[in-house]
Amino acid sequence: MRDRRPLIGITTQSLHSIDGIPADLPTSWMMNQRYLHAVVAHGGLPVMIPLLAHDDQTLRALFDRLDGVLVPGGVDLDPSAFGESRHPLCGRVDADRDHVELALARWAIEDRKPLFGLCRGLQIINVALGGTLYQDIQAQRPNSIKHDFFPNAGFARDYLAHDVELAAGSRLRDLLGGASLPVNSMHHQAIKDVAPGLTVSAVAPDGVVEAVELDRADQFLLGVQWHPESIEFVDPACRHLFAGFMYAASRHHHGVAA
């Protein structure tokens, strides 16, 4: 009997874009297993998307078979993607990943295919639609709170760094069932100019954008700045994010609008 679970594409990252990776290791694509386990736990079939930055035909053929796209966290976006020169505090980038994720995000929006962005994924959605980013929050947005609670600085991935305020009437607030939520925070970049067509659905105490969604009811498109895959067992409300995404992907699989 054919498995009727929705097929979810999860983008990958170039191994050598990560700090401290020896140069003599083979060129590889990788991604944190938590994203794949979260998809399986909520009823989806995960597939890792190779960074075929120079083969859009194959990438598009793969995209066409997907029922949803999940864009996970990772390294910084190259600021050339949103028309800026590089700030000294912009970190390592992954040009192939930028190309692939921006293409997938734009195709998903055009085809009304469910799209879920986490941390960097939120930023990809914003840039794909014409928005911009702070390349370093502390340097470019004075008086902001600390957002960079990185594991390599001794913070657990499920450390709840601050609350976010959820916008009334938003899809995000409907999914989470409350007015605020404690979240983890592992980023030093953030949305600066919100792209046309996106609505801000959550903000941090300092006003930094923490979530966006699309201004239309016929597509699930949601991006959050935190990492729900790392805290869904600490704060069960975050499970509703994956459940909502998977429900939309299942409806897409069966030819039903979001």
What are the catalytic residues? Answer: 119, 227, 229
Burial class (CB in 10 A: 0-12, 13-18, 19+), 89: middle
What are 200's strand-pairing partners? 212
Contact 224, 231 (CB under 8 A): no
Give 60-119 as a 3 state SS string: HHHHHCCCEEEECCCCECCHHHHCCCCCCCCCCECHHHHHHHHHHHHHHHHHCCCEEEEC
Angle at 176 between CA 174 and CA 181, to 5 degrees: 130
Contact 157, 151 (CB under 8 A): yes
